[in-house]
């Protein structure tokens, strides 16, 4: 699971959707891996407006990365700032959560991540 993907995922339980606490999910016992991927500025510029920045700051801190600035850069700022491009590329695309759990801050449900694949299937009492 790339950190980018974590930014797209919330709790699968329908009653949690309306609660702000269900997003982002909180990594627990996370084992991280780093993939070497060629940097793609076009992709990062495209992705930036779709990122929930506040959620990304939370995830990044929870995974033990240095704190991100409070405000997201604009696309123009990002394209002009090579260091920032590299940092975001490394965080969003190269960092993978391989093992651990993703926990909902609303209902407490834990989604297991194994071999980089998260499981969002719910038991019947939560459907």
SS3 22: helix
Residue 46 makes CB contacts below 8 A (sequence gap 6+) with: none
Q: Which residues contact Zn ion (rule: CB under 5 A)?
A: 11, 13, 16, 22, 104, 106-107, 109
52 makes contact, choosing from other proteins, Zn ion, none, with CB < 5 to 8 Å by partner type, with other proteins
Tell the burial category of 87 from Cβ atoms under 10 Å away from its Cβ (0-12, 13-18, 19+): middle
Is position 33 an interface residue for other proteins (rule: CB under 8 A)? no
**Which residues of this protein are in contact with other proteins, per CB under 8 A?**
1-2, 4-5, 8-14, 23, 35, 37-38, 40, 42-43, 45-47, 49-50, 52, 110-112, 115-125, 127
């Amino acid at each position: 699971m790339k950190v980018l993907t974590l930014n797209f995922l919330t709790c699968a339980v329908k009653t949690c959707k309306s609660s702000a606490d269900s997003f982002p999910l909180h990594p627990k016992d996370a084992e991280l891996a780093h993939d070497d991927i060629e940097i793609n500025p076009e992709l990062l510029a495209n992705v930036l407006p779709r990122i929930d920045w506040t959620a990304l700051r939370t995830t990044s801190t929870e995974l033990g990365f240095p704190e991100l600035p409070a405000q997201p850069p604009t696309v123009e700022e990002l394209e002009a700032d090579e260091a920032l491009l590299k940092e975001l590329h490394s965080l969003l695309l190269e960092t993978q959560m391989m093992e651990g759990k993703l926990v909902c801050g609303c209902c407490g449900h834990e989604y297991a991540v194994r071999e980089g694949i998260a499981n969002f299937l719910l038991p019947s009492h939560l459907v």
